[in-house]
Structure 1
Amino acid sequence: MSNRSLDDFNTGDDTLETAESPTADANDDRDVSTLATYRWTPDGTTCPACGDTVEKRWLDGDEYVCIECKDW
């Protein structure tokens, strides 16, 4: 199998297909909800359940708690 130049794949049509290409400002009507299940704070923060200062917290119910307080 011989090597081929990228020019071999050039179709000669350099126009962009804008009719089907999405734009950066296109509205996405889908209702997408994202929720982080983990948080990292390099300087540490207080766990609301036990009061310890921790860097890593996981979502447990409606608050972020340390690994010791997380109900796995």
Structure 2
Amino acid sequence: MQLRTIYAPVLFSTLGFGNDAALYSTVITEAINVISTIVSMYSVDKVGRRTLLLEARVQMFMCHVL
């Protein structure tokens, strides 16, 4: 278990969420993390690391220019 999972409800409570809302927010956040990991693994397998790295390089350059 990662540390951010343990402290996420406390963080959400500090931000003004109620106890139930803080727990629900934590579950939603972790579910999005799992889904994003699965999509990332599929993308790397389908497209390849080099292509994704080159695309990320172009996007980072554009963000720095802007």
Query: How would you bin the TM-score normalised by the shorter chain?
Result: under 0.3
In terms of fraction of residues, the more helix-rich structure is 2
Structure of larger gyration radius: 1
Which one has the bigger strand percentage? Answer: 1
Larger RCO: 1 or 2 (CA < 8 Å, sep 6+): 2
TM-score normalised by structure 2 residue count: 0.22
